[in-house]
Amino acid sequence: MSEANQMSEMTQVSEAKWYVIHTYSGYENKVKANIEKTVANRHLEDKILDVRVPLEEVQETRGGVTKMVQRKMFPGYVIVNMEMDDDTWYVVRNTRGVTGFVGPGSKPVPLTPDEMWSLGLAGGDMPTAQKPKIVVDFEIGDMVVVIAGAWNGTEGAIQDINPQKQTVTITVELFGRDTPVEINFAEVKKK
């Protein structure tokens, strides 16, 4: 491989970031499959690297029977690891079921390292020694303002506090419905 090709390949890897796209509710898996199909057809594997629908395992009880099931962490959202340019933006934005990228106006905002870590996208568990613990005086019901990341400027009341993950959950209004959003302690301040 020539030095120019190696440099080009390294540049592409360093330019790829994780973005959040909004989809019609219930279309998350279809959107993921459609993007992956388009990537293969247009040979964009070097620009759109990964498409995920974040899932979590939860304990569910129905009819007296308790079992572990996988549930979408963020219904109506899909995350994409991609190099943002006109072609990739067009492919993702014009996929059936996609309503847009998360970000102000039409400008997609990549996830911050802390947001990536909280979603498990930072390459596994981050050792506690590398992740400083943040001590906060928040209580459930307190109003906070998001000061960083894709939700910058958003205000909401704290619904849940998770000291182990170092996150708070606030409810934000998206397209006319209340949606719970998990935000890192470092990205919020008391109002």
**146-182 per-position pLDDT tens digit:** 888 878 888 888 999 887 778 889 988 777 788 888 8
Confidence of residue 2 (pLDDT cuts 50, 70, 90): very low
Of residues 145 and 126, more confidently modeled:
145
Strands (E), the chain: 17-23, 48-52, 55-62, 65-72, 77-82, 98-101, 143-146, 155-162, 167-174, 177-184, 188-190
Q: In angstroms, what is the C-alpha Rg of the chain?
A: 18
Give tens-digit pLDDT for 82-138: 999 999 999 999 999 999 999 887 689 998 887 887 777 755 444 333 445 666 778
What kind and span of H or E run contains 89? Answer: helix 86-93
What kind and span of H or E run contains 31? Answer: helix 28-42
Q: In degrees rounded to 5, what are phi and psi of residue 110? A: -70, 155
Which residue type, as a one-letter code, is found at position 59? Answer: Q
Q: Up-side HSE of residue 152: CA atoms within 13 Å toward CB?
A: 11
Report the percentage of the chain scoring pLDDT > 90.
33
Q: Which long-range contacts (CB under 8 A, 24 or more apart) does 33-42 make?
A: 34/95, 34/96, 34/97, 35/78, 35/80, 35/91, 35/92, 35/95, 38/91, 38/95, 39/91, 42/91
The whole-angstrom separation of Cα 180 and Cα 191 is: 18
Number of H helices, E strands in the chain: 4, 11
pLDDT at 133: 61
Measure the CA dihedral 104/108/109/115, to 10°. Answer: 110
3-state helix vs strand vs coil in the chain, percent to 5: 25, 35, 40
Q: Is the pLDDT of residue 10 over 70?
A: no
